[in-house]
Structure 1
Amino acid sequence: MHELPLVFFTVLTQSAVGAFILLLIGGTLGHITPKRMAIGLFASVCVFGLGVVMGIFHVGQPLRALNMLFRVGHSPMSNEIVLSAIFSMIAGIAALGLLLNRGATKLFTVMAWLAAIIGVVFIIAIPQIYQLPTVPAWRTSWTTAMMVLTPFIGGGALAAALGVRRLGAIISIVAIVVSFCLRPGYLSEIIMADGALASAQSSWFTAQAILLAAGAAGALVFLRTKSAPTLLFASAAVVIVAELVGRIAFYNLWAIPM
């Protein structure tokens, strides 16, 4: 269970950044009111913060995490920590400023878009940490592809629950379909890299696929029938859980099963 904090850290932060960006896009397109967008942005930052807090438990002695800052620009993990801190700060100030609506709306909006750009860099930085020669099942472009899908799958579902319902749901459904298309290639790659460990994760990957399908089906029903938002909230929760389950399988490819 040692890597469980990283499971929550990566999935929650990636999904939060995805939701943050989609809420901004939805607000720009007029799919959501400014007030509701501000609430959604602030909620996304809270989810991001929760992921960061969960990730701290992985460090063992959190104060030693400061030592990682000395390797910024050279260490992917140091880059990840700094980017997460910068995103939290700028996105938090922007979201709070828009939520309080005390003026300087344009400034806070610009800050929000700046945070979105930093968030994209953060998302790209995470998979670079796992390109380790000692873990063949991780050192592949499939790791990047599957992790980059999380902001669309989980982020889309979270954005839908936070207000941009149609845009978020569509993005999440499309990303889930893409993930299913990529899944055979990904599974084939990790089986070739480490057949024993990959086979041991079959139940996790199967559970993830079932949950993703259920979440996508629920979102699709919501879009077609315009049913109560409760269905959308439930679908979003199922999708996030699915991504957590898939990430557990990913970390189990290291060696120590959870």
Structure 2
Amino acid sequence: MHELPLVFFTVFTQCAVGAFILLLIAGALKQIASRQMAVGLFAAMCLFGLGVVVGIFHVGQPLRAMNMLFRVGASPMSNEIALSAVFGVLGGLGALGLLLNRGASTLYITLTWLAAVVGVLFVLAIPRIYQLPTVATWSSHYTTAIMVLTPFIGGGALAAFFGAWRTGLWVCSLAILASFCLLPGYLSTITNADSALASAQTTWFTAQGVLLAAGLICAMAYARRKSGQSVLATAVLVIVAAELAGRVAFYNLWTLPM
């Protein structure tokens, strides 16, 4: 699948941004220790960097990827790339500074919050790329909805694993429920646009639903203190896998009218 690098790029970066922001919020609410938050922020930035590196492989000639920055402000893709770069720099410097704990904590906290603002803009910029009138299966508000939910679903699970379990699990659980509520309307929309193509994604959508349900069960089991960290880790893995499955289905919906 030619779009597979984009599957990992969008899911990993969106989950990382979601986790980054939720960890900051949990830190501000004193729900997580400063050191634990710093470790979590740095881990989220590592995941973000991994997503960006994988995404580069979608470019035909990676060494020319910088050329796509020439249309910042006019091209949604250029905006996405520019915002990812700014988030990476601000978030990376802020998280690394807090992790190393070399002083100037106010500066590093400021950088992380600036990164959070840029991260929100980055998350909102991604679905704009796919609002194409020529691709009927993408051209709907559901495209924005499912992509905006990913930072809450995957990011919430990751934030919980990194220590902000109360905030992370609540956000993740509510987002999964919202995803289930949106699914019937989404499937109806893409079926009306191209029934054959939508039907071909049944396996992927089923896998996403099953994995999300399993992840939700694991998350709730951990929240009720009936299980240990391994259950939470399992929840994170299956939830991120669910978002990857759903994103594969999304990219498989690419179609052009003949």
Q: What is the rounded CA distance, in whole Å, between the counterparts of 2:214 and 2:255 in structure 1?
A: 30
Aligned to 1:26: 26
Q: Tell me, in whole angstroms, the C-alpha distance in 2 between the residues paired with 1:123 and 1:25.
A: 17
Residue of structure 2 equivalent to 1:112? 112
The alignment partner of 1:172 has SS state of: helix
Distance 2:113 2:193 in 1: 39
SS of equivalent residue, structure 1 residue 250: helix
Gaps of 5+ in 1: none
TM-score, L = length of structure 2: 0.98
Q: CA deviation at 1:227?
A: 2.0
Q: Which residue of 1 aligns with 2:88?
A: 88
Structural mapping, 1:17-96, within 5 Å: 17-96=17-96
CA distance in 1, matches of 2:186, 2:173: 19
Number of residue pairs matched? 256
- Matched residue type, 1:112: T
Provide, for residues 71-94 of structure 1, a one-character-per-residue CA deviation record: whole Å limited to 9, x for no partner: 100000000000000000000000
Letter in 2 for 1:124: L
What is the DSSP-based 3-state SS (H/G/I as helix, E as strand, rest coil) of the residue aligned with 1:58? coil
* Cα drift, residue 162 of structure 1: 1.0
The runs of at least 4 aligned residues of structure 1 exceeding 6 Å deviation read none
Aligned 1:160-175 pairs, distance under 5 A: 160-175=160-175
The aligned amino acid for 2:236 is: A
Distance in 1 separating the partners of 2:92 and 2:180? 34
Alignment partner, residue 222 of structure 2: 222
Q: What's the offset of the Cα at 1:194? A: 1.0
Aligned-partner SS, 1:225: coil
C-alpha distance in 1, partners of 2:59/2:233?
A: 32
- Counterpart CA distance in 1 for 2:59 and 2:67 is 11
* Partner amino acid, structure 2, of 1:245: A
Aligned-partner Cα distance in 2 for 1:151–1:137: 22
- Take 2:196 and 2:134, find their aligned partners in 1: how far apart are those partners? 16
Alignment of 1:132-171 (within 5 A): 132-171=132-171
CA change 1:24–1:226 in 2 (3 A) is: farther
Answer whether contact 2:136 2:255 (CA < 8 A) is retained. Answer: no
Report the alpha carbon displacement of residue 66 of structure 1 after superposing the two structures with TM.
1.4
- CA apart distance, 1:132: 1.1
Counterpart of 1:46 in structure 2: which amino acid?
C
Q: Matched residues in 2 for 1:39 and 1:60: separation?
A: 35
Q: TM-score, normalised by structure 1?
A: 0.98
Residue type of the alignment partner of 1:117: V
Which residue in the other structure is 2:211 paired with?
211
The one-letter code sitting in structure 2 at the alignment partner of 1:141 is H
SS at match of 1:114: helix
1:173-192 to 2 correspondences below 5 Å: 173-192=173-192
- 3-state DSSP class of the match of 1:227? coil
Q: Distance in 2 between matches of 1:136 and 1:54?
A: 27
SS in 2 for 1:52: helix
Residue 125 of structure 1 aligns with an amino acid whose one-letter code is A
CA distance in 1, matches of 2:210, 2:235: 12
Give the Cα–Cα distance (whole angstroms) in 1 for the partners of residues 63 and 136 of structure 2.
31
Distance of 1:183 and 1:241 partners within structure 2:
17
Code of the residue aligned with 1:161 in structure 2: it is: F
Query: In the alignment, what sits opposite 2:197?
Result: 197
- Displacement of 1:255: 4.4
Deviation at 1:225, TM superposition (A): 2.7
Q: Which amino acid aligns with 1:150?
A: T
Report the AA paired with residue 135 of structure 2.
V
Q: Distance in 2 between matches of 1:154 and 1:9?
A: 13
Cα drift, residue 226 of structure 1: 4.5
Counterpart-to-counterpart distance in 2, 1:237 and 1:161: 10
Distance 2:243 2:94 in 1: 28
Structure 2 residues without counterparts, runs of 5 or longer: none
* CA positional deviation for 1:224: 1.1
